[in-house]
Each structure stands twice: as structure tokens, then as C-alpha cells.
Amino acid sequence: MTYGVFIAGLGHHAPERIVPNSEIEARLGLEEGWIARRSGIRNRRFAAPEEALSDIALPAADRALKNSGIAAADIDLLLLATSTPDHLLPPSAPLLAHQLGLGGPGAVDITGACGGFLYALSFAQSHVRLHGKAAMVVAANILSRRINPDERASAVLFADAAGAIVLCPAKNGMAGLQGLELCSNGADYDHIRIPMGGTRLPYQANAAPAAMKMQINDGKRVFSHAVRMMTDSARTVLEGTGTAPGNISRFVPHQANRRMLDAVAHALNIPQHKIACSIEEFGNSSAATIPLTLSLSHAADPLRDGELLLFSAAGAGMTGGSALWRV
């Protein structure tokens, strides 16, 4: 038997420390307003030095679980989309499941960079449809530990945050994922990267600190390719499901750059008032931005049965895609 899938609970969390543009602009010697004009970001959150990834993921996941109204033991699968786990090994998802008191469900990390939430969401909803059991997707990152504070391209954009979603089986077989287009472009694999720490270039004690920090090469190319990937994948989903852009209730894109969001929405003919946006106050927390933004949007204007949500993302790899979800 297959089931529909409904969003039973949403949650989000961001660290307490607010980092305004003025702090970064002063350090980099940028004129006042430079960051906001180019990215739409005014503030972002940074985790405290003692906080690990699981410390910011837990409050978001706990909030989503409580909002769902289901018992912790009913969660059958937990997927954690992150690029900044507590450790390279073991994965952080089993620890998070234990901290939540879930009782030992399937739990694994998904390292899909900015597109990681979409991949995790598609895997989780397939699990719910097939098995008729609840699943949770958490996306969280502490990117403040991975940026080079002296490199403008990454220092102005990235932030720390978490978002979570609980999915449950629905008697309404129409609820859930309506269309999905996942994609990648390995030719641009290394335009956003952390060079050292993997098997290609193992950690070296005498290496320059920048080797362990994020690097963005050719930002203009990354921008244009991300816009194209998000636009093309979203258009494929809309056309494949016979959905007119005007029927989208909320467009919830990855919050990479406000100009990027606007460019994709314009290309898809989605009006500005339907774009769910959190980038101004929370910056770019990679995979976490979609569930974070969806949770914030739901808190301000609760989701209604039958709404059509369009998700879209692109990031390091290059990997990304789009998904259409019926509430």
C-alpha cells in the first residue's frame, strides 16, 4: 500500500549571536551598504564557539517534533542534511536521533551541500509512502567555521542555522511530492570547495589555515549556473506536472542571494509576493535555508490544505534541483 505524505510539523533554530553587515564591512574595508546591495543580506547568525552542529540541529528538530503532535518513538527515519557534521566520522544523525529520544530509527547524514535538503526530502517522503511510517528531515550547518573571514566572496554570505520537517502518512493520496527534478553539473565541481580534509588532499598540520576554509572561484559563473540550474529544474517540474506558475502558493528557494532568488522567480513568472524569503535576517546557511524559511513562513501564515509549494536549490558540486509539494 502507498500513502500520501503530509507535513505534520515544522521547526527552525538560529544561534543567538547576530552578526550585522557593519561588522564584516569594517573588517574587509567595504563601504557601508555594500553587502546588502549585492546579496540582500543585512544580518546573519553565528554559533557560539562551544556549539557543535548537533547543538543547533536539536532545537529545530525538537520544535518540529513537538509541533507534529506525534510520539518520538513513531519516527522511523531521520535524515540530516549537513556539510558541517560534529565529526567526519561517525555521522551526526544517530546522535541527533538519540538526543531526541527517537528510540533508534534509521538515521544517516546526507552531504548534498545547498541542495542537500531536497535530496533528503525526496528520500524521506518515499520512505513514508512505502512504509506508512513517519520520517524527519533536519538540515543544519555551522558555516561560520568554514568561511575564510578575509575572503569577501564567502565571508559576506554564509551563516549558521537549522530547519526541520516531520512527514507523516496521509489518507489523502494526493498530498506530498508531486514532481521532482534532481540534477548536477560535475564540470563545475570545484567552484565552491574546501580544498583540504578529504582523501584527495588529506589534512596536513603545517598547511595554511585557508586550505581548510571555503573557497569560491569565479563567483559570477557560480551565480549564473545556479540561476540556470534552479530555473531549468523548476520549469521541468512545473511542465511535467502541468502546473501553471500562477498556481504556486509559495516559492521557497534556497536562500543563496536575493538577486538570485529574484532572477529565478522572474524567469519562472512567479510574482514577488509568493517568494518566501529569510535571507535578509538569516543569511545563507546552505541546506538549512529551505526548511528554515518554510518554518518561518508557516509561523507567519500557516500552511493550508491544498497549497502548492515549489522548492528549488543549487550549490556546491554543482548539485541541486526542484520539487513541487502539495500540502
Q: Which residues are catalytic?
A: 114, 254, 284
Query: What is the pLDDT at residue 102?
Result: 97
CB 77 within 8 A of CB 94: no
Place of cell 556549539: 51
Helix residue ranges per DSSP H, 74-115: 93-100
CATH second-level architecture of 4-173? 3-Layer(aba) Sandwich (3.40)
pLDDT tens for residues 262-309? 999 999 999 999 999 999 999 999 999 999 999 999 999 999 999 999
Query: In sequence order, what are the residues at sequence separation of 6 or more whose Cβ sits closer than 8 angstroms to the Cβ of residue 58?
Result: 96, 99, 100
In this structure, the number of other CB atoms found within 10 A of the CB of residue 117 comes to: 31
Q: Average the pLDDT over 164-193 and give the result.
A: 92
In whole numbers, what is the pLDDT of the chain averaged over residues? 95
Residue 133 backbone phi and psi in degrees, to 5? -125, 155
pLDDT higher than 80, residue 3: no
Q: Which helix (H) or strand (E) holds 77?
A: strand 75-81
Asked if residue 136 has a cis previous peptide bond (ω within 30° of 0), the answer is no
Query: What is the pLDDT at residue 71?
Result: 97
- Please tell me the distance from the alpha carbon of residue 69 to that of residue 11, in angstroms, as a whole number: 13
Query: What is the pLDDT at residue 237?
Result: 98
- Please tell me the distance from the alpha carbon of residue 205 to that of residue 208, in angstroms, as a whole number: 9
In this structure, the number of other CB atoms found within 10 A of the CB of residue 104 comes to: 9
pLDDT tens for residues 282-295? 999 999 999 999 99
| pTM (whole model) above 0.75 | yes
What CATH number has the domain spanning 177-326?
Answer: 3.40.47.10
Question: Letter for the amino acid at 269?
Answer: N
Relative orientation angle of helices 289-300 and 116-131, to the nearest 10 degrees? 70
Query: What is the pLDDT at residue 26?
Result: 96
Nearest alpha-carbon partner for 118 in 327, 310, 326, 317: 310
Query: What is the pLDDT at residue 189?
Result: 87
pLDDT tens for residues 45-79? 999 999 999 999 999 999 999 999 999 999 999 99
CB 210 within 8 A of CB 148: yes
CB 44 within 8 A of CB 159: yes
SS3 180: strand
Query: What is the pLDDT at residue 128?
Result: 96
Nearest alpha-carbon partner for 264 in 245, 281, 242, 288: 245
pLDDT tens for residues 227-247? 999 999 999 999 999 999 999
4-173 and 177-326 agree in CATH topology:
yes
Q: Which helix (H) or strand (E) holds 53?
A: helix 53-68
- Please tell me the distance from the alpha carbon of residue 28 to that of residue 242, in angstroms, as a whole number: 48
Q: Which helix (H) or strand (E) holds 3?
A: none
CB 46 within 8 A of CB 15: yes
Query: What is the pLDDT at residue 150?
Result: 85
The residue ranges of every structural domain in the chain are 4-173, 177-326
Strands 17-20, 43-46: pairing is: antiparallel
